[in-house]
């Protein structure tokens, strides 16, 4: 990763995704552990907001969870598919933010970004209706400049760049693959910033790989969940969030521009 130290940099927010607390709860069909209690703990530990993905198949987060999360005094970023069912839920709930995410029933986790360029007209309606309801629309897209340009045309104020390929590359320990994945995110982030979009990132971020993403100058928010819930098993949710917060802040302090 390249660049020059910046004297100071705008803060990069941390959104904690509590989906997989619900995964553990649903494993036994009861009410424990409660994802809303996890959200409250996350906020006390320094999370700037809470992200929850209400999937069409409700495999983890359920409708009653988002109702209770909405009642918290915190920024709720509701992730959802671009469907009429989910739009109706979002318009009724009016969360701080809505992030449109592609969903395939057979996928284990979110595999790719939303094809914004292939459905601009349909997504423009989501932007208009959600904007009118006071929810900030974000599009979860691959770090692809064509998708970023489409997001700007659609009128989404935010793009969340899918960091999954970078996270996978970092596990591969192939320097050229890691650099290529990071370069794509850096280029897409810089373009989004130039187009006046707020740039976020998420998917697969960990203690080991987050710093280089947090150091990207245009990055304003990172949404992180699966790793934090997993790490909470060993060090507790509070400490895991505080460590992630520290890594992000340290990366911004010494960030390269
Ligand atoms: C959009 C994204 O990357 C995450 O919110 C992810 O969807 C978490 O939920 P799953 O692990 O069920 O995909
Ligand atoms: N949009 C990304 C997110 O909310 C969390 O993704 P992950 O950290 O669970 O992979």
Q: What is the ipTM for the molecules in this complex?
A: 0.95
DSSP class of residue 217? T
The reply to whether 23 sits in an annotated binding site is: no
Ligand 1 atom nearest to 107, measured from its CA: 13
Pairing verdict, β 219-224 and 97-100? unpaired
The reply to whether 3 sits in an annotated binding site is: no
The reply to whether 30 sits in an annotated binding site is: no
What pLDDT is recorded for position 256?
46
What pLDDT is recorded for position 255?
56
Residue nearest (by alpha carbon) to ligand 1 atom 5: 53
Can you give the residue ranges of every domain in the chain? 13-252
pLDDT in tens, 113-158: 999 999 999 999 999 999 999 999 999 999 999 999 999 999 999 9
Q: Catalytic annotation on 85?
A: no
Q: Catalytic annotation on 162?
A: no
Ligand 1 mutation pick, 86, 101, 113, 164, max ligand atoms within 8 A of CB: 101
Alpha-carbon distance 102 to 45, whole Å?
Answer: 30
Alpha-carbon distance 102 to 113, whole Å?
Answer: 6
What pLDDT is recorded for position 192?
98
Query: Looking at 103, 203, 221, 231, which residue is catalytic?
Result: 203
Distance from Cα 204 to the centre of ligand 1, integer Å: 9
What pLDDT is recorded for position 108?
86
Terminal CA-CA length for the chain: 10
What pLDDT is recorded for position 254?
72
Q: Which residues pair with 211 in a beta bridge?
A: none
pTM of the predicted structure, to 2 decimals? 0.95
Residue ranges of the chain whose pLDDT lies below 70: 1-8, 255-257
Q: Catalytic annotation on 96?
A: no
Residue nearest (by alpha carbon) to ligand 1 atom 13: 109
Name the strand (E) or helix (H) holding 141: strand 136-141
User: Is the C-beta atom of 49 inside 6 A of ligand 2?
Assistant: no
Is the separation of the CB atoms in 204 and 168 below 8 Å? yes
Kindly report the CATH number that applies to the domain delimited by 13-252: 3.20.20.70
Ligand 1 atom nearest to 204, measured from its CA: 3
Name the token pair of 31.
């009410």
Residue indicated by tokens 């607390």:
21
Residue indicated by tokens 């989004």:
192
Residue indicated by tokens 């130039």:
194
């Amino acid at each position: 990763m390249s660049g020059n130290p910046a004297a100071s940099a705008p803060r990069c927010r941390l959104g904690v995704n509590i989906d997989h607390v619900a995964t553990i709860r649903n494993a036994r069909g009861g009410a424990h552990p409660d994802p809303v209690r996890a959200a409250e703990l996350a906020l006390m530990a320094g999370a700037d907001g809470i992200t929850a993905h209400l999937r069409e198949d409700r495999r983890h987060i359920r409708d009653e969870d988002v109702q209770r999360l909405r009642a918290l005094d915190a920024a709720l970023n509701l992730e959802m598919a671009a469907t009429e069912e989910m739009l109706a839920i979002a318009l009724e709930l009016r969360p701080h933010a809505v992030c449109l995410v592609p969903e395939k029933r057979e996928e284990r986790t979110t595999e790719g970004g939303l094809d914004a360029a292939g459905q601009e007209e349909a997504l423009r309606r989501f932007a208009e209706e959600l904007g009118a309801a006071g929810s900030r629309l974000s599009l979860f897209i691959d770090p692809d400049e064509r998708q970023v340009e489409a997001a700007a045309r659609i009128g989404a104020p935010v793009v969340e760049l899918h960091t999954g390929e970078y996270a996978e590359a970092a596990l591969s320990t192939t320097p050229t693959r890691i650099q290529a994945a990071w370069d794509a995110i850096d280029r897409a982030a810089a373009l989004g910033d130039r187009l006046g979009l707020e740039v976020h990132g998420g998917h697969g971020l960990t203690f080991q790989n987050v710093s280089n993403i947090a150091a990207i100058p245009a990055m304003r928010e990172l949404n992180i969940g699966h790793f934090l819930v997993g790490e909470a098993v060993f060090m507790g949710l509070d400490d895991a969030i505080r460590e992630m917060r520290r890594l992000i802040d340290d990366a911004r302090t010494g960030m390269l521009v």
